[in-house]
A and B are shown apart, each in its own frame.
Chain A
Amino acid sequence: MELGLIVGLSFLLAALSFMVIENRGLARATHLYALQTLTLVLIFLAIAWEHSIGVLYIWAGTAFFTKVLLVPFLILLVIKKTGIKHEEAPFGGLFHPFISLGVSIAVAIMLEPIFIKFSLLKLQIPIIVSIFVFMMGILGLVFRKSAVKQILAYCLFENGVHLTLALTAYNAPETIEIGILTDAIFSVIVMGALAMRFFNHFGSLDTSQANELKG
């Protein structure tokens, strides 16, 4: 394994993903998310440059405007409007970071051989990191109680899928990337609007308080 620019940035991406999930300050977590996505953009640029893949420059550009600028702006808007600064303790308490780290790493290492077999770019570490980021997002959605944190977790796994797509299928028709990106942005808008409505009814963003529907 060569420790080049792409591998270095991939490790940074993994570390930032963990920090986005674990930081209890909502605004700070959102800023970290913007930084995490900026790292993703840099990875796209690094791959585009090292492997001479022109289309990834476009991917980097669209990801910068939509996910580094627009999405964090929308999430910060929800935080500002609701005035809630900190997230509630997640399910699993103190064990949570260890569980999510352990499971994410295990799944990533388990699935990597399957992904790399058919991947257009045989880059082992970035593929492992893309699955790791995806799993951190999924587990964040399951275990975190804060609605804003759940939106961030959604964005995180979306970034994981985005990186997988860049590695395994960058040659896919452009309409496809546009479609997935449009869905992602609308998801954030819809979830943000629902989170505000949630706050208006429950007076908090703690989704574990919503437990009227059972059985």
Chain B
Amino acid sequence: MFDNINIAINVLLLIPFAASICIWLAARGNNRVLLYMLHLVATVATSVVGIGCVAYVVKGGSFTALNDFLLFDSISGVFVLAISVIGLLVNLYSIKYISWALDKGEIAFSDARLFFSLSHVFVFTMLLSVISNNIILMWVAIEATTLSSVFIVSLYKNKRAVEGGWKYVIICSIGLAFALYGTVLMYSSAYHIIGDAHKAMLWTSLVEHSKGFDPDLMKIIFVFIVIGYGTKAGLAPMHTWLPDAHAEGPAPASAFLSAVLLKCAMAGIIRFYVAMNSIADVARFMQSVMLIVGLISIIIAGMFIMRQHDIKRTFAYHSVENIGIIAVAMAFGGATGFFAMFFHILTHSATKALAFCTTGNLQEIYGTRDTSGMGGLVRIAPLTAVMLGIAMFSLAGMPPLAMFTSEFYTVVAGIEGKQYIAVAIFLIGLAVVFYGLVHHFNDIVFGKERGEVVHRGEVSMGANIPLIAMAVIICVIGIAPPESLLELLRNAAAIVVNNR
């Protein structure tokens, strides 16, 4: 589409940024159609350009732009793909979701305008964080994702939403402060070796000079980074903000946070990992750290999933579990492990977006998030029941759905690495989560109706189309993943493996 990817990368950042300003300025006077149209045009344009950029890096290669401040390689490609495709579908769903909230008088028109305007700033900050070549710019962008999303999370003006929003901003700020310290330390040590202030901040030159870094310092920096970006990614035990923020925000916001935002923070950890893993001693240390936090995340999440009654909190703990799986895949390492890691980032992104958007339908049907007030969904709204089924069974790792495939590769990577005990703990964790999910699914879909049904029948088709698209993506990736997608993932994994 673009002759020059440099222009495309700049345009990719420009569209959401300009869109947020346009929406804020233009959509006034209760004009819902204009608001939705501006949102729709901007979200489609961002996705088209995003996918166009990804097409350049499917076969490997990397491009820099804006005086080397931005970097687009296969790793960025994986994340931009998630933001472009899943972001588009969630944004489409949000139009219907917000119009329900407006109809019911839960929010005012000005709130809806703020929501759409901020959601584009949010996309802008996420894109910037994953294509930044500058370590501090990346930090600035990840911190900005918190600031731009906090009012999306606390859109509903009630006690719980304010509490969720406050915890979100405070806990993430504490975490990110550690990441900033780690980043400044990384720069200082790189400057001593590289001797150029501009280059000492670029991933591309850090990777080139990585063999000269001080191993002990690198270990300390990695711990700072895992505490920092790990808090934002929702790794246990720093995950405490996550269930509150995910549960109290509107469904599309929860979908965005879980499906895309958490991965952007993981991108920070992955970039540091790539920059440091040429030192064998440091690589072993980083793998041990990721294995421990990954397994802790899976186990803690499993315990909480078992006793949840709030459907959104259940899915929120699933995010903790899946970020744990990504961490474990990273720890197992090797070509298979990193491939599984990038694969899981995409499969979880699609699955969790579907799961959270379906909770929007459930809330519309039952008027509650409490699973003990739900039941008989298959008779009330069969299509929503199927969507929920696909989301939940993919989350549970059931073949042939998408997340089974990425989890399978993770296990293979563990066996290849002869980490049998870790694989065993990993599988036990997954089994606990599987049980918890099937139990909830049965109650909601086949159980008796236990409470009031506010809306009998399917919600409007406009809301269901994006969900069907997500479900198709989950099935296709699970059954016959496109070769170009696998190639992108293999090339992303190769960047990590080759820097040994």
Contacts and interface: CB of A to CB of B under 8 A. Distances in A.
B308 A198 contact: no
Interface in B173-228: 173-174, 177, 180-181, 184-185, 187-189, 191-192, 197-198, 201, 214, 217, 220
Contacts of B188: 115, 118-120, 168-169
A194 B150 contact: yes
Interface in A138-167: 138, 141-142, 147, 150, 154, 157-158, 161, 164-165
Contact of A183 (B144, B184, B307): B144
B140 A180 contact: yes
B174 A197 contact: no
Contacts of B244: 213
A213 B136 CA distance: 34
Given A172-B136, A215-B304, A141 B166 contact: no
Nearest to B163: A210
A197 to B, nearest CB: 5
A201 B164 CA distance: 13
Interface string B143-173: 1100100110010011110111111011001
Interface residues of B, number: 50
A204 interface: no
A26 B21 CA distance: 35
Contacts of B189: 118
A195 B201 CA distance: 35
A190 B181 contact: no
B291 to A, nearest CB: 25
A142 B171 CA distance: 9
A49 interface: no
B134 interface: yes
A161 B180 contact: yes
A191 B170 CA distance: 9
B170 A141 contact: yes
A2 interface: no
A68 to B, nearest CB: 21
Interface in A97-115: 114-115
A50 interface: no
Nearest to B309: A215
A212 B185 contact: no
B248 interface: yes
Interface residues of A, number: 47
B177 A138 contact: yes
B245 to A, nearest CB: 9
B159 A134 contact: no
Contact of B185 (A115, A173, A179, A180): A115
A14 to B, nearest CB: 18
Majority secondary structure of chain A interface residues (helix, strand, loop or mixed): helix
Contacts of A52: none
B276 to A, nearest CB: 15
Given A187-B147, A210-B159, A194 B169 contact: yes
Contact of B162 (A114, A186, A210): A210
A194 B154 contact: yes
Contacts of B144: 183, 186
A207 B166 contact: yes
B85 interface: no
A194 B184 contact: no
A210 B166 contact: yes
A202 interface: yes
A67 B191 CA distance: 28
A3 interface: no
B243 interface: yes
B187 A169 contact: yes
Contact of A172 (B160, B174, B201): B201
Contacts of B192: 118
Nearest to A186: B147
A120 to B, nearest CB: 7
A157 B176 CA distance: 11
Contact of B169 (A179, A191, A213): A191
A176 interface: yes
A175 to B, nearest CB: 8
A119 B247 CA distance: 43
Contacts of A164: 181, 184
A191 B244 CA distance: 17
B137 interface: yes
A212 B304 CA distance: 17
Given A118-B217, A161-B181, A183-B144, A194 B165 contact: yes
A147 B163 CA distance: 11
Interface string B40-76: 0000000000000000000000000000010000000
29 contacts: A114-B185, A115-B185, A120-B188, A138-B174, A141-B173, A142-B174, A157-B177, A161-B181, A171-B191, A172-B187, A173-B197, A173-B198, A176-B134, A176-B201, A180-B140, A183-B143, A187-B147, A190-B147, A194-B166, A194-B169, A195-B166, A210-B163, A210-B166, A212-B159, A212-B163, A213-B160, A213-B247, A213-B248, A215-B304
Interface of B: 69, 134, 136-137, 139-140, 143-144, 147, 150-151, 154, 157-160, 162-167, 169-170, 173-174, 177, 180-181, 184-185, 187-189, 191-192, 197-198, 201, 214, 217, 220, 243-244, 247-248, 304, 307-308, 313
Interface of A: 114-115, 117-120, 134, 137-138, 141-142, 147, 150, 154, 157-158, 161, 164-165, 168-169, 171-173, 175-176, 179-180, 182-183, 186-187, 190-191, 193-195, 197-198, 201-202, 207, 210-213, 215
Given A172-B187, A213-B243, 4 more contacts: A117-B214, A173-B201, A201-B159, A213-B160
Closest 4 CB pairs of A and B: A179-B140, A118-B188, A210-B163, A213-B244
